[in-house]
Amino acid sequence: MMYIQYYDSPLGKMLLAADEIGLIGVWFENQKYYANGLKEPIEKETIVLKETKEWLDFYFSGKEPEFLPKMHLIGTEFQKKVWHILLKIPYSKTMTYKDIARMISPSMSAQAVGSAVGHNKISILIPCHRVIGSNSSLTGYAGGIERKEYLLKFEKKNGI
């Protein structure tokens, strides 16, 4: 079964999705939903979706959440490896695609990492907004560059 809830964030409405295992997606309303194709989701607040809303409430109040809801990462092993690295990027800090590639392998391409980052379905909680280009450019963010910029400034301003 697939369960969904909506969350009103300072950046617009968000769709949260979970299955019996854990959180599978967090998308902004006008973002290309990776949830397309999910079979008949049921709008129901589950424990994981409630915890996700609490996490987002903490985050958007300027506090660093001290917990993560249980997640069900759906992707290739490589994508999961990249997403786990993203989870280690501290609040208000950034890493480049190339930095992440070098953490995996000296010969790994930044483009391969960029592709994996781009397939992250759990916005904000898995902080793909903290990944920038080698020249410090704010490249690529499925929720839109203006949201990426907002999130990075928000984290620096609040010291989280």
Give catalytic residues, as residue numbers: 128
23-28 sheet: strands from edge to edge: 23-28, 12-18, 3-9, 42-43
User: How far is the CA of 111 from the CAs of 36, 115, 160, in angstroms?
Assistant: 25, 6, 28
DSSP code, position 136: S
Tokens of 49: 């979706």
Between helix 97-104 and helix 110-118 the angle, nearest 10°, is 110
State the DSSP H helix or E strand holding residue 58, giving kind and residue range, or none if neither: helix 47-60
79 by Cβ neighbours in 10 Å (0-12 / 13-18 / 19+) ranks as buried
Q: Is 66 helix (H, G, I), strand (E, B) or coil?
A: coil
